Amino acid sequence: MLVEKFLEGNRRRYTATFKVPDQNGVLTDPTTITFYRRKEADPNPETYVYNTDIAVVREGQGIYHVDLSYSSSDADGRYWVGVKGTGTCEAFDELEVLVQKAKSKP
């Protein structure tokens, strides 16, 4: 599992590439695409669904992204960011994000 660390106040772009698992690995649009962010102890993630939330952007065939900010109102700590594709291209991936509050601000 990939782990990313950064200071609060930053914005990150998370990109997902969906391919059909064959010898050619053709880029494919899933039927549904859902990105989510979940704080470590919170069972209810924030979700971002393509064609429902403008935060999810289609860059091209099989390529989608969402930009997420970690502001000072977000608690520092451990988050999980993930994406799930269903239907025509079933896929799932998740990464761990460690957010730290700045010790001092200029």
Locate 3 and state its tokens: 């782990």
Segments forming the whole domain that contains residue 40: 3-100
Q: Residue 24 falls within a domain, yes or no? A: yes
Angle made by CA atoms 14, 17, 19, in degrees to the nearest 5:
160
Residue of 61, 66, 65, 54 whose CA lies nearest to 89: 61
Q: Residue 106 falls within a domain, yes or no? A: no
Q: Give the number of domains in the chain.
A: 1
Which pLDDT tens digits describe the chain residue by residue (106 residues)? 556 777 777 788 999 999 887 667 789 999 999 999 998 888 899 999 999 999 999 999 999 999 998 776 667 788 999 999 999 988 999 999 888 877 665 5
Give the predicted TM-score (pTM) of the model: 0.85
3 state SS of 68: strand
Locate 6 and state its tokens: 């950064």
Could you tell me the CATH number of the domain that includes residue 52? 2.60.40.10
